[in-house]
Structure 1
Amino acid sequence: MSTITSPNVSGNSENPWGSLGLASKTPERDTALGQADFLRLMTEQLKNQDPLKPMANAEFLGQLAQFSTVQGIDKMQAGLSAVASVMESDQTLRAAALVGREALIEADTVELAAGAGLSGEIAASGAGTIQIEIVDASGATVRRTSVQADAAGGVPWAWDGRDDAGNPTAGGQYTIRATSGTGEDSETLVVGVAAHIDSVSIEPQGLVLNLAGLGSHPLSAIRRIG
């Protein structure tokens, strides 16, 4: 049969917890070297230096310069922290102002509700006719249309959410294809889609816009905000 013995809890005035090893913890000391500490050490160093080998002026000035550098770095870090705080507040204000507006982003695929239309901008490489195809998730082309470019640059385009027969399209994922020219001269063009900004997230890398039908995109990916 095992025997459980009671621990020795006898104590004294110096160690009231006895032999349990629960003596009061010594408070931690601040070991950081402040300006007053540094100056006191420098004074003691000057008082106790060898009169026959006094500290060189250059060495003394070097130590002062080192301490000034450390102080400058501490102040710079405090200043940078303040700047970061101001920038974060500025980002919050910018985010609040963007919600509810429209953003133009380079994209060729979008999630749409049934019968929902779409608009955007196509980057034309030159003057001419631009052919636009709206393709559903199965790969079938539901609508063909065209716009005219007068010169190179952005050309507005829009789709009313109907197929070639004039019927509203079903909800789902759609792809927009834009080309110019014909045959061997055919060229695929960059498509920009306009989407509603539902919300804005403040991430470590910056502002991220949550766009209706397009998901989340960083602010740097936005071409224009209307």
Structure 2
Amino acid sequence: MTTAVNGDPFAAINNSTTGTGSNKKKESLGQAEFMRLMTEQLKHQDPLKPLSNSEFIGQLAQFSTVQGISELNTTVNGFTTALTGDQVLKGASLVGHDVLVPSEKLALGAQGNATGLVMSPGTGSLKIEITDASGVVVDTIDIDAAKGETAFAWDGLKANGERAPEGVYAIKATHTDDTGKATKLNTYVDSTVESVTIGSDGLYLNLPGLGTAPLEYVLRIGKSAS
């Protein structure tokens, strides 16, 4: 249950404006320009049909509103820049750490085991089936489950005792309660953050063999089982 990066993480760079501020054409009216326009309006208005005080106040209110929105946009842009910097620091701190994410597959390295957990609905038995790319079940893990978090670990060995090749394997967890009722459970696996991508909508963790997962998918930092 991985997800691809949404959006262009370099959009902010590609859409930035080049050149110096002095060469940029001014496209908006400032306060001074507005007051000059108002003065000209007073000088050239029809003396038989002069503008009322309420009309002048309305124009001033409109200008004040536009100016306020412009200042608000500047403030929001400042917040956005600050948040982006904070995201960079968060991403850098996660690289090299183990995280627990929802996934229906796990990655087995050349050495060591692969770990994860499920949320058991109650007591009973738990069966974890590990399947290779061709759909063949290479190993099965049986666990006595208690209600709540139940960790599992695959030692990387096939059912015949041979070491399974390094790669990505599918996993399926089934819980059977004391009455014999079987329920398929969601699986969560441990993975080490290889790198972090800063997308336009947040951080994405690059996990070896699992692809990318958004930061909000992380349930825990640290391994679930040894």
Deviation at 1:135, TM superposition (A): 1.7
The question of whether the paired residues in 2 share the 8 Å contact of 1:134 and 1:177 is answered with: yes
- From 207, 210, 214, the counterpart of 1:211: 207
Q: Deviations over 1:80-131 (max 9, x none)?
A: 1111100110000000111111111111223323454100111212221111
- TM-score normalised according to structure 2 size: 0.79
Please point out which of 87, 90, 115 is paired with 1:91. Answer: 87
Give the 3-state SS of the residue equivalent to 1:142 in structure 2: strand
After superposition, residues 151-166 of structure 1 pair within 5 angstroms as 151=147, 153-166=148-161
Q: Which position in structure 2 is the counterpart of 1:22?
A: none
Q: Structure 1 residue aligned with 2:105, among 99, 102, 109?
A: 109
Aligned AA for 2:52? A
Where do 5+ consecutive residues of structure 2 fail to align? 1-22
Name segments (4+ residues, structure 1) moved above 6 Å. none
Number of matched pairs: 199
CA contact (8 A) 1:208 1:218 kept: yes
Amino acid at match of 1:76: L
Aligned 8 A contact 1:137 1:172 in 2: no
Q: How far, CA to CA, are the matches of 1:118 and 1:105 in structure 2?
A: 13
- Identify which of 175, 186, 190 aligns with 1:190: 186
**1:150 maps to 2:146:** yes
Secondary structure of the corresponding residue to residue 219 of structure 2: strand
Q: Where does the alignment leave 5 or more consecutive residues of structure 1 unmatched?
A: 1-26
Change (3 A) 1:186 1:35: same
For CA contacts below 8 A with separation 6 or more, give which structure has more relative contact order: 2
Is 1:66 the counterpart of 2:62? The answer is: yes
Identity of aligned residues (%): 43
Aligned-pair CA distance for 1:36: 0.8
Give secondary structure in 1 for the equivalent of 2:41: helix
Deviation at 1:30, TM superposition (A): 4.7
One-letter amino acid of the counterpart of residue 198, structure 2: I
Q: TM-score, normalised by structure 1?
A: 0.79
Structure with the greater alpha carbon radius of gyration: 1
